[in-house]
């Protein structure tokens, strides 16, 4: 990487894992070999996806997985984080799609052959449409269905997996999917978000129990996304706004999972916005975690006004931003890690996603994504600093291996360290991938 980049503290930990992440819907395609999911339906809704695209073909990873995994290996990574598509495994009639299981087993075997660690996510937002038709995450039964799917997958995969993640970013599934409606299934209403979140957390707890039974030796946990909130001014109202935002977006997921309770905010919510908590739920949710995955991209400023206890502001003028208009602020990651470590008795952490979108262009056979190089370097530095300060962090994953289907943004936002030409499906490692690779391969010597 660039000059002066001291990763010695990351490297001195012999088992520190450096990996790269993807998710099924965003890269696989191969839609004709699975059941439809909520994102297939959502993509058909006029205006839902910026470029009116869909995930039917995506990066055609379904037929190119071999080449893609070879790339992960050749670039020098230790691990590959990917997700299993629920609708590729469980059919609407209750039967199991063996071809779907075999697809992932081939990937797992190839990873093993190449000595790459498999970090498997069971749910990265792809709810089968037939389950959404029964109410989706607003229906408690969905949590049970997820436990059954976990059982099928973990029985079939056996010992091939290094680390299981039950859910990726339940905040996004619940809030973006059922409250603001900007993600699938596109339901809108303050009364839905926290109900969906509760059923997701319940699904996590039940899935953890199944994993503990089926594959007790395999590491298991959950991946949460964190947005550190900063008060826009010194005044106490703004400070309060930042705390409330933290409770809604971050702590709402972390506290139940680690401590079996929701933040105190629960008692201040209007009755119709509260989750339906049944006796025993919180104990199920708080299964002991072997690790916690932290996804970090940006921070946000908040204010409060007459109508809102908190209001999220766009990035300040002149702040450096990514193509998503997300502020680039690595020190918020360091502070976040210290805060989590201070507030909780944490299991070991992995940074399971970090990266940025930029307007990358191929020029004479190269993609010079200098901004991404700096972004990754500075965020890895922040991780190293947090480790130095005593936080137990075991790994770091770049989001993402490939440019891919970025949800409501379609293919307009490129997060990959490998460029994808969506007409030819040609993969081209960007400068960031090549620099990371130089460093990783040196390390392995």
Pair of tokens at residue 20: 């790269």
**Which 3 state secondary structure label does DSSP give 222?**
strand
Distance separating alpha carbons of residues 136 and 127, to the nearest angstrom:
8
Minimal distance in Å, beta carbon 279 to ligand FCB?
32
Q: Determine the distance from the C-alpha atom of residue 52 to the mean position of all C-alpha atoms in its chain, rounded to a whole number.
A: 23
Distance separating alpha carbons of residues 99 and 89, to the nearest angstrom:
8
Distance separating alpha carbons of residues 41 and 54, to the nearest angstrom:
9
Q: Which is nearer to ligand FCB, 17 or 401 (CB)?
A: 401
Pair of tokens at residue 49: 């996806």
Q: Are strands 163-168 and 79-83 parallel, antiparallel or unpaired?
A: unpaired
Catalytic residue among 169, 179, 327, 406: 169
| H or E element at residue 353 | strand 349-353
Q: Catalytic site residue 353?
A: yes
Catalytic residue among 35, 132, 353, 406: 353
Kindly list the residues in this chain that would bind ligand FCB in the complex (CB under 6 A): 23, 26, 168-169, 172, 225, 295, 353, 399, 406-407, 415
Q: Which is nearer to ligand FCB, 29 or 152 (CB)?
A: 29
Minimal distance in Å, beta carbon 125 to ligand FCB?
7
Q: Which is nearer to ligand FCB, 39 or 149 (CB)?
A: 39
Minimal distance in Å, beta carbon 170 to ligand FCB?
11
Q: Determine the distance from the C-alpha atom of residue 362 to the mean position of all C-alpha atoms in its chain, rounded to a whole number.
A: 27
Angle between helix axes 190-214 and 252-259 (nearest 10 degrees) is: 30
Minimal distance in Å, beta carbon 171 to ligand FCB?
9
Minimal distance in Å, beta carbon 105 to ligand FCB?
23
Pair of tokens at residue 193: 């978000």
Q: Which is nearer to ligand FCB, 167 or 337 (CB)?
A: 167
Distance separating alpha carbons of residues 294 and 353, to the nearest angstrom:
7
Q: Catalytic site residue 110?
A: no
Distance separating alpha carbons of residues 352 and 93, to the nearest angstrom:
34
Q: Which is nearer to ligand FCB, 246 or 413 (CB)?
A: 413
Distance separating alpha carbons of residues 395 and 300, to the nearest angstrom:
25
| Catalytic machinery residues | 169, 353
């Amino acid at each position: 990487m660039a000059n002066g980049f001291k990763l010695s503290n990351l490297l001195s930990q012999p088992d520190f894992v450096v990996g790269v992440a993807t998710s099924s819907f965003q890269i696989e395609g191969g839609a004709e070999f699975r059941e439809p999911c909520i994102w297939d339906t959502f993509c058909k809704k006029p205006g839902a996806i910026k470029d009116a695209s869909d995930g039917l073909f995506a990066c055609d990873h379904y037929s190119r997985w071999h080449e893609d995994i070879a790339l992960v290996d050749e670039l020098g990574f230790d691990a590959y984080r990917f997700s299993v598509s629920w609708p590729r495994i469980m059919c609407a009639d209750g039967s199991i799609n063996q071809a779907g299981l075999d697809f992932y087993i081939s990937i797992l075997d190839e990873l093993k052959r190449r000595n790459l660690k498999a970090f498997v996510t069971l749910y990265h937002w792809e709810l089968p449409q037939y389950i959404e038709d029964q109410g989706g995450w607003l229906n408690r039964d969905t949590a049970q269905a997820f436990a059954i799917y976990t059982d099928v997958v973990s029985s079939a995969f056996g010992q091939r997996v290094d680390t299981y993640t039950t859910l990726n970013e339940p905040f996004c599934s619940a809030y973006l999917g059922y409250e603001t409606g900007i993600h699938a299934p596109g339901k809108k209403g303050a009364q839905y978000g926290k109900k969906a979140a509760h059923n997701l957390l319940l699904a996590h707890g039940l899935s953890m129990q199944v994993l503990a039974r089926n594959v007790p030796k395999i590491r298991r946990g959950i991946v949460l996304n964190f947005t550190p909130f900063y008060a826009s001014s010194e005044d106490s109202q703004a400070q309060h706004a930042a705390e409330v935002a933290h409770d809604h977006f971050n702590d709402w997921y972390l506290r139940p999972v680690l401590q079996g309770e929701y933040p105190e905010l629960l008692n201040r919510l209007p009755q119709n916005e509260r989750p339906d908590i049944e006796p025993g739920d919180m104990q199920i949710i708080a299964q002991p975690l072997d690790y916690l995955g932290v996804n970090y991209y940006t921070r946000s400023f908040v204010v409060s006004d007459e109508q809102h206890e908190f209001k999220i502001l766009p990035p300040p003028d002149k702040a450096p931003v990514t193509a998503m208009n997300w502020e680039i602020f690595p020190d918020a990651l360091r502070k976040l890690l210290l805060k989590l470590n201070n507030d909780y008795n944490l299991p070991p952490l992995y940074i399971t996603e970090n990266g940025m979108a930029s307007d990358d262009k191929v020029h004479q056979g190269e993609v010079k994504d200098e901004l991404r190089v700096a972004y990754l370097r500075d965020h890895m530095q922040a991780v190293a600093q947090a480790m130095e300060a005593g936080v137990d962090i075991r790994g770091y994953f770049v989001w993402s291996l490939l440019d891919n289907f970025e949800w409501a943004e379609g293919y307009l936002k490129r997060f990959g360290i490998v460029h994808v030409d969506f007409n030819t499906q040609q993969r081209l490692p960007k400068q960031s991938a090549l620099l990371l690779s130089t460093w990783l391969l040196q390390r392995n010597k």
